[in-house]
C-alpha cells in the first residue's frame, strides 16, 4: 500500500507548525503551563503524538480537523469548537478542510519532559 507523501510522519513534521505563545510555572512544583498556536496546512496532519503529564485544552480558531485517537472514535472539529485531550493519549490532528487550520492549545505538562512525544505512523 502506498502512502501519500503529505501524510507520512516526516512530511507532516516538515509542514506542521507549532508556535509557543507563552510558558509559565504552574502553582504545582515541577509542572508548567504552555500555550501554543498550531498551524496545519490543508491535507496535512500533525503526526501521532502525546503530551506528558496533563491535559491539552484547545480551541479551533480556523479550519476543520479530524482529531484521531488510538483508543476512541475520531472527533471532527470545526472553527469555534473547543476540545480536551486527556493526559498521555496518543492523537493526530488531520486537517480535513480547505484552509490552513489554526488551533490554540494550552498544556499542563511536566517541566522535565518534552512538550510532545512523537510516535511512528
Answer yes or no: are the C-beta atoms of 15 and 47 closer than 8 Å.
no
Is the pLDDT at 33 greater than 80? The verdict is yes
Dist CA 78 CA 65 (whole Å):
6
User: How many structural domains is the chain composed of?
Assistant: 1
Cell of 50: 502525546
Host domain of residue 11: 5-118
For residue 86, what is the domain's CATH number? 2.60.120.10
Q: For the chain, how far is it from start to end, CA to CA, in angstroms?
A: 14
pLDDT of 53: 82
Cell of 1: 500500500
Which is more confident, 21 or 12?
A: 21
Answer yes or no: are the C-beta atoms of 79 and 29 closer than 8 Å.
no
Average pLDDT value for residue range 77-92 = 96
| pTM for the predicted model, two decimal places | 0.84
Answer yes or no: are the C-beta atoms of 35 and 80 closer than 8 Å.
no
pLDDT of 14: 61
Is the pLDDT at 42 greater than 50? The verdict is yes
pLDDT of 7: 42
pLDDT tens per residue across span 44-75: 999 999 998 889 999 999 999 999 998 899 99
pLDDT tens per residue across span 85-103: 999 999 999 999 999 999 9
pLDDT of 103: 98
Answer yes or no: are the C-beta atoms of 16 and 38 closer than 8 Å.
yes
Amino acid at each position: 500500500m502506498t502512502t501519500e507523501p503529505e501524510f507520512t510522519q516526516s512530511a507532516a513534521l516538515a509542514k506542521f507548525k507549532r508556535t509557543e505563545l507563552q510558558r509559565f510555572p504552574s502553582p504545582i512544583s515541577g509542572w508548567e503551563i504552555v500555550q501554543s498556536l498550531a498551524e496545519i496546512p490543508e491535507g496535512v496532519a500533525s503526526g501521532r503524538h502525546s503530551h506528558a503529564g496533563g491535559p491539552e485544552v484547545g480551541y479551533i480558531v480556523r479550519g476543520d480537523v479530524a482529531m484521531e485517537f488510538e483508543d476512541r472514535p475520531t472527533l471532527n472539529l470545526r472553527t469555534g469548537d473547543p476540545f480536551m485531550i486527556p493526559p498521555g493519549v496518543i492523537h493526530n490532528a488531520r486537517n480535513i478542510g480547505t484552509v490552513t487550520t489554526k488551533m490554540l492549545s494550552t498544556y499542563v505538562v511536566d517541566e522535565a519532559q518534552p512538550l510532545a512525544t512523537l510516535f511512528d505512523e
